[in-house]
């Protein structure tokens, strides 16, 4: 079974803090994604990566950056957390048949 | 450009009755379409996918969906709802611009009454 793990299920941070969200997959997938999920908006793509050190902006990249130093690990970074970044963050890894496998999510609260 | 619209934000059914979750898509190309389910406090799980083979697609847990090109629809159905089906369901179209973008619908929350 494909496994996608995220470093934290719940996280509380203060405004202005730098926040790291980690995602690890164990199936050697090249493509990995970070989404945020908000009620009524579905999932919105923040960034994706199609190979080590390769990244592309998604639909809402502002205020975020990413890092992919190793194939299995894709990190999302909030440079200076703000209250409007309070959300559920989902990481996904994509197989060659385009099926995406999701981690359990990180619920981030910024106070 | 691709887009996907889930026509109902909430659907409520009684246990044992049929489920219908509606999805319409817009795509300039023959799309790949997916349904995902998200149970409370869990990540998303693939229910089924359409990739230009049979138009009636069977998925896990008794769900199926029919691709209707003339109606640009990909509605999700199940003959008999179970309490464990209560969850949020997402219709998804795979974007063809560069092959990377995947567009999610806003989601439909399914409630199942005993």
pLDDT, position B99: 53
pLDDT, position B96: 55
| A25 at interface of B, judged by CB pairs closer than 8 A | no
Interface of A with B in 64-83 (CB under 8 A): none
Contact residues on chain A for B42, CB-CB shorter than 8 A: 104-105
Average pLDDT of the residues in B4-15: 95
Torsion of CA A82, A16, B43, B32, to 10 degrees: 60
Among A2-11, B4-13, B58-67, the least confident range: A2-11
pLDDT digits (tens, 9 = 90+) for B61-95: 999 999 998 899 999 999 999 999 999 999 998 86
B3 CB neighbour count, 10 Å cutoff: 12
pLDDT, position A11: 96
Measured CB to CB, residues of chain B less than 8 Å from chain A are 9, 32, 34, 36, 41-46, 49, 51, 90, 94, 98, 100-102, 104-107
Q: Which residue of B has its CA nearest to A94?
A: B100
Contact residues on chain B for A102, CB-CB shorter than 8 A: 36, 43-45
H-run or E-run covering A94? strand A87-94
């Amino acid at each position: 079974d494909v496994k996608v793990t995220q470093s934290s299920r719940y996280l509380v941070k203060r405004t202005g803090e730098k926040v790291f969200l980690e995602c690890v997959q164990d199936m050697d997938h090249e493509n990995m994604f970070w989404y945020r999920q908000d009620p009524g908006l579905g999932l919105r793509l923040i960034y994706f990566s199609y190979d080590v050190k390769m990244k592309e902006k998604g639909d809402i990249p502002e205020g975020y950056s990413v890092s992919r130093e190793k194939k299995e690990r894709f990190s999302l970074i909030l440079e200076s957390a703000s209250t409007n970044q309070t959300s559920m963050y989902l990481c996904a890894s994509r197989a060659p048949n385009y099926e995406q496998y999701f981690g359990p999510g990180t619920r981030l609260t910024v106070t | 450009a691709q887009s996907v619209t889930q026509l109902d934000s909430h659907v409520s059914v009684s246990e044992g009755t049929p489920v219908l979750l509606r999805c319409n898509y817009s795509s300039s190309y023959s799309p790949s379409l997916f349904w995902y389910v998200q149970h409370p406090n869990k990540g998303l799980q693939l229910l089924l996918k359409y990739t230009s083979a049979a138009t009636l697609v069977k998925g896990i847990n008794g769900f199926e969906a029919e691709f209707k090109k003339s109606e640009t629809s990909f509605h999700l159905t199940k003959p008999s709802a179970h309490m464990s089906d209560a969850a949020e369901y997402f219709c998804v179209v795979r974007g063809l611009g560069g092959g990377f973008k995947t567009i999610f619908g806003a989601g439909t929350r399914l409630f199942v009454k005993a």
